[in-house]
Chains A and B, each alone.
Chain A
């Protein structure tokens, strides 16, 4: 038991880095994914549509670990030197943006066309229609898949250990190399991953239920006059 306690400080620090890596990469993926999805709603706008499509196909057609290597080992060759953590966020964020953009695009398209028509016939400009009418509905449609990607990203962030980001897995590897207690250490590392991913997936499911439109009920009347 004492042995486990001695691992905790560095594993907890590693978990912190894993969470940061996940949150920043996810934020990046969400923003870029949304921009890509929006661009790809309008195929007639070739100058944006084609580059966005190439980006998505290249990213989805190559391994994530290669993208990490690219960001960390290859970019310095063209003068871009990133520290491991930043390179990790960049590679993970770009990778997930490609997948998320497809989720967002299909979710936006799943919102009935009548919603666009009703909102624009009220004089709402495109940005307002998108922001106030389409995205709140598309967001609900996208939530389950996005949540799954979020948890997948949390686990995929372990790949950043290959470019020497001292996240959870890499912290475990360092301890294991020093103590040779592979079984004990990797078991604890596994428990750490589970301790975040399982509650997260429960939380996401609860959020989905909460946001479900058919469960929404009229708010009780306020008794103020």
Chain B
């Protein structure tokens, strides 16, 4: 039986993925993938398309199940199984799933704002309905968060009235409103017009310097260089290498990393 809660000590990594294996049907996507993330750490995941970056971070808040391995987040065991025997994906129980989702925020490439709610209502929705925070307090907090994201004057606008960059900053505020211990970012600037990328990266840089634990999938190497505590290179569902931005960018030890960086810096 899976125990729901581990003793969370401050020493243990906030996010711990051990020997994670996942396939879609016959296609293996994550091979024995392990990664620990410490409290306050910013980890940037890089790697070629199809290397499993999205799949991996989605397993961290239960949007994807895993076949085997162990995932622990802030003391909650989200998944734990020995080597695959039954052929069935490991399903987390709903209590630990709920706990992990409260702990870990996620920001998506396509923003996924709720289109029928204003920016402030988007931010307030989960605090009011999940955390049962009084409407007034939730709104006050939402306005503070939006203000921090430079969106004070956009609070009562609907998503369709906002630019992509503004929408993505609302999405970040929405995630922050639940006071997560970590936030996952999946190529959150990829759907943006180039001139809007900067404002979103600025907001993320701010979060990082406020001490938020972040796992960031991005092709923005400049951001990785400046903000990451650790850069992790993935290919073919495996961790190829990991290190400080200096190590990875200046002297990658694996030829695949060098080749990938080459392709990102000089596309085509």
Which residues of A are interface residues toward B (Cβ below 8 A)? 112, 114-115, 117-125, 128, 132-133, 136-137, 140, 213-214, 216-219, 221
Contact = CB atoms under 8 A, between A and B. Distances in A.
Given A122-B175, A123-B98, A216-B158, A137 B116 contact: yes
A128 B115 CA distance: 16
B106 interface: yes
5 contacts: A122-B105, A124-B129, A133-B125, A140-B116, A216-B160
A217 B158 CA distance: 7
Interface residues of B, number: 29
B61 A121 contact: yes
B188 interface: no
A120 B116 contact: no
B160 A123 contact: no
Interface of B: 61, 63, 98, 101-102, 104-106, 108, 110, 112-116, 118, 125-126, 129-130, 156-158, 160-161, 171, 174-175, 178
Given A120-B63, A133-B114, A217-B161, A114 B108 contact: yes
A124 B114 contact: no
Nearest to A118: B112
Given A132-B129, A136-B116, A121 B158 contact: no
A115 B178 contact: no
Nearest to B100: A123
Contact of A219 (B115, B156, B160, B174): B156
B125 to A, nearest CB: 6
A218 B63 contact: no
B115 A213 contact: yes
Given A114-B108, A122-B105, A218-B161, 16 more contacts: A114-B110, A118-B108, A118-B112, A118-B171, A119-B125, A119-B126, A120-B101, A122-B130, A122-B175, A125-B130, A136-B116, A216-B160, A218-B118, A218-B158, A219-B118, A221-B156
